[in-house]
Amino acid sequence: MLGEFVHATTRKNLLDISHSSKFVKDWLEVFETASATDLVRLEAIDTFESHKLSFWDAMLLATARRSGCSALLSEDLQDGWRLKGLEIINPFATDATLRLQDFINNDFK
């Protein structure tokens, strides 16, 4: 994800590389990150084949799921879709605020 952020922001000229990399460095100090393991890669390949997703979307889903996430925010994947206990939430959907609040209240009690 962080690599995609750098790629997207610099490719679209939204940020220059120094500002984009500064965001990533700051986020790495604040947030826990997950790396792709062999198990993640194997699950991603299975998801890629069985659900006809892009390989990189499948990698994101597998990494999130294997890291214990119960929800993934994405505007690219189908809102409300569930895969092996992982729910996709489009943060820009009309009911996203209520769903996110419900998710936060239930998962962080």
Residue 109 is predicted with a pLDDT of 52
Amino acid at 26: D
Residue 58 is predicted with a pLDDT of 95
Residue 86 is predicted with a pLDDT of 93
Number of domains in the chain: 2
* Three-state SS sequence of the chain: CHHHHHHHHHHCCCCCHHHHHHHHHHHHHHCCCCCCCHHHHHHHHHHHHHHCCCHHHHHHHHHHHHCCCCEEECCCCCCCCEECCEEEECCCCCCHHHHHHHHHHHHCC
The pTM of the full predicted model, rounded to 2 decimals, is 0.75
Same domain, 100 and 49: yes
Same domain, 78 and 52: yes
Same domain, 61 and 78: yes
Same domain, 91 and 53: yes
Burial class (CB in 10 A: 0-12, 13-18, 19+), 40: buried
Residue 46 is predicted with a pLDDT of 96
Residue 107 is predicted with a pLDDT of 65
User: By residue range, what is the domain housing residue 53?
Assistant: 38-107
Same domain, 52 and 11: no
Q: Around Cβ 70, how many Cβ atoms within 10 Å?
A: 13
Same domain, 46 and 90: yes
Same domain, 52 and 84: yes
Same domain, 101 and 53: yes
Same domain, 63 and 101: yes
For the chain of 109 residues, list the mean pLDDT of each consecutive stretch of 10: 85 92 94 90 96 93 93 89 91 82 72
